[in-house]
Structure formats: C-alpha cells, structure tokens
Structure 1
Amino acid sequence: MRKVHFIARVRQQADKRQIVQTGFTLIELLVVFTLLALLLTLATPRYLKTLESGKAKVQVQNMATLRDAIDKFRADQGRYPAQLEEIVAKQYLRQIPLDPVSGTHGWLTVPPPNTEESGIYDVRPPEPVSATAASAPPADNATGSGQSVTSVDNPGLAPASGTGR
C-alpha cells in the first residue's frame, strides 16, 4: 500500500512542476517585445520609402501614357485636344489616369509652344498646394517661356515652373 501512496505523491509533485513551468516569464516577454520593436524601427522607414518610390514610378508611367495618348490624338485629328476628357471621349484612353502621389485626376496641362495652336500639348503632375500658395493669386507667366499651365481639376492652381516635355 505504501508504493501506491508514494506513486500518487510523485504524480502530484510532477503536475505541480508542469503547471509552474508552463508559460513565459515577464522578462522573457519584455525581451521578445523589445526585439520586435527594434526590428520594426529598422524596417518601417525602408518600407515607407519603397511605397513613395513606387508611387513616383507609377506617376511617371501615367504621365507617359497621357503624353502618348495626346501624341496619338494629334496624329489622328491634326490638332491637340482641348481637354483631357476629349481623349477619353475619342477612346484614346479608357479613363484619365490617377496621380498616385496626390490621389487626384488633376493633372496640370501645358499649351503648345506654338501660339498659333491651342489645346493640351503636355501634362505635368499636380503640385502640392501649400497654405501660402493657396492664398496667393496665380501668376500669369510663371513658366518663364510664355506658356501658361492650368490644372484639370482646379484652374486656379499655381502653374508649374519650367517648360514642357
């Protein structure tokens, strides 16, 4: 009978050890969370930088697509389109591409350098509107080349600097 009592006592002690030994200590959890936080601080800036460069590459591709459609329109119609929506209406594009950086369809349009022609010669990405630029009236000749630049969504935006293509 003593053997049975001894075996039962050994089992009880083994069960108590298992209960105590299951789980993690607070120190172990703190070390793991500290390592995770360290890895996140190293990886997050690189991830965000990759997102921004991806948006910039898509923006360049969308501008190339718009410029190609404008060139095809000019070759077929013998004139530049009056609005970007005309390119969509004549089925040169399914829709005006979205600018991934600004999140709008508000491309800045550039008229032809030849003053005898009218329409859209080139497109540029919309410029971010700052608080001071939004309150200032747009300049008449901000490109320095005699060209004016207008926005598709908001004609009151300040023109971009520089020349076309």
Structure 2
Amino acid sequence: MKRATSRAASQAGFTLLEVMVVIVILGILASLVVPNLMGNKEKADVQKAVSDITALESALDMYRLDNNRYPSGEQGLAALVTQPVIMPVPRNYPQDGYIRRLPQDPWGNDYQYRQPGRHGRIDIWSNGQDGEPDTEDDIGNWAR
C-alpha cells in the first residue's frame, strides 16, 4: 500500500522539460499576438481622433447655426466651452456652452483649429502621433 502511494506522489509534478516546452510555446504565441495588438492600438487611436474631430465639427456647426459664423481663429475651440469675450462676441450662446470640455487627441495633444481653413470653411486636426504639424500622420476633418 505504501509503495503505491509513494509512486503516485513522485509522478504528480511536471518535469523540467515539460515546463520548458510550455514556456517556449507561450513565447511563440506571444510573439505572434503582440504585434497584432500593437497595430490595433494604433488603429484605435486614429479612430478616436476621427471621432473627436467629428464631434468638434458638429459642435462648431451648432455654434455657426446659433451665431451665423464660426468662432474666429483667435477664439479657437475654447469658444465651444466658454463664451468668447474676444470680438466677434456671439449673441446666442447656450448657458452650458456647446461641449463640457475640450478633448485631447489620443497622444495627449490639443486639437488644432483654423478659421478660415485651408481645406474648407474650418479646419480641425490632430498633429498625429509625432505631434508635429504638416506631416503624414496628421488627421483632419478634410482627410476622410
């Protein structure tokens, strides 16, 4: 009886070789999965920037409907949060503004605004991941 118990106890664990094989397999799987996840993060960041720009553009359109003009370039996107005091001061401004706060792009930078725009009446854009203006990774309301 004792022999059967001791034999079962000695065979209960994993050998070093089995543990090493599992670690190698997990390493191979991780090397295949991680690059795909990194690519998805970049795509998600770009999509968030596009969504933010669309929301800002909608808020700016509401501002224009209420005041017959977009905020000036000097007033900037801040005119969506608090009523501008710089001319031209809007006559019809909602008590709570058009948005609660200005979002930052996924890379922690402020969105940019230009009125009049180069690509349309207004330009709204993120300088992208590199944070530099006029580079390939810029995301704007004109590039969809």
Q: Distance in 2 between matches of 1:65 and 1:97?
A: 10
Q: Return 5+ residue gaps in structure 1 as ranges.
A: 1-10, 115-119, 130-157
State the partner residue of 1:143.
none
Cα shift at 1:79: 2.2
| Percentage of identical aligned residues | 29
Higher relative contact order (CA 8 A, sep 6+): 2
- The answer (yes or no) to whether the contact 2:117–2:123 under 8 Å persists in 1 is no
Could you say what the CA RMSD is over the residues aligned between the two structures, in angstroms? 2.5
Q: Does 1:123 align with 2:129?
A: no
State the partner residue of 1:6.
none
**Equivalent position SS for 2:19:** helix
Q: Distance in 2 between matches of 1:94 and 1:47?
A: 32
State the partner residue of 1:142.
none
Residues 135-165 of structure 1: CA deviation (Å, up to 9, x unaligned): xxxxxxxxxxxxxxxxxxxxxxx65379973
Query: Paired residue for 1:88, among 81, 85, 89?
Result: 81
Cα shift at 1:41: 0.5
Cα shift at 1:109: 1.6
Cα shift at 1:113: 4.7
Q: Distance in 1 between matches of 2:41 and 2:117?
A: 35
Question: Could you say if the C-alpha distance between residues 40 and 113 of structure 1 is closer, same or farther in structure 2, counting changes exceeding 3 Å?
Answer: closer
Question: Could you say if the C-alpha distance between residues 164 and 14 of structure 1 is closer, same or farther in structure 2, counting changes exceeding 3 Å?
Answer: closer
- The answer (yes or no) to whether the contact 2:54–2:141 under 8 Å persists in 1 is no
| Aligned ranges 1:37-116 → 2 under 5 Å | 37-81=27-71, 82-89=75-82, 90=94, 91-100=97-106, 102-104=107-109, 106-113=110-117
Q: Return 5+ residue gaps in structure 2 as ranges.
A: 83-93
- Whichever structure has more helix as a proportion of its residues is 1
Which residue identity does 2:100 align to in structure 1? R
| TM score, norm. by length of structure 1 | 0.64
Cα shift at 1:55: 1.1
Task: Say how many residue pairs are matched.
Answer: 120
- The answer (yes or no) to whether the contact 2:76–2:114 under 8 Å persists in 1 is no
**Equivalent position SS for 1:124:** strand
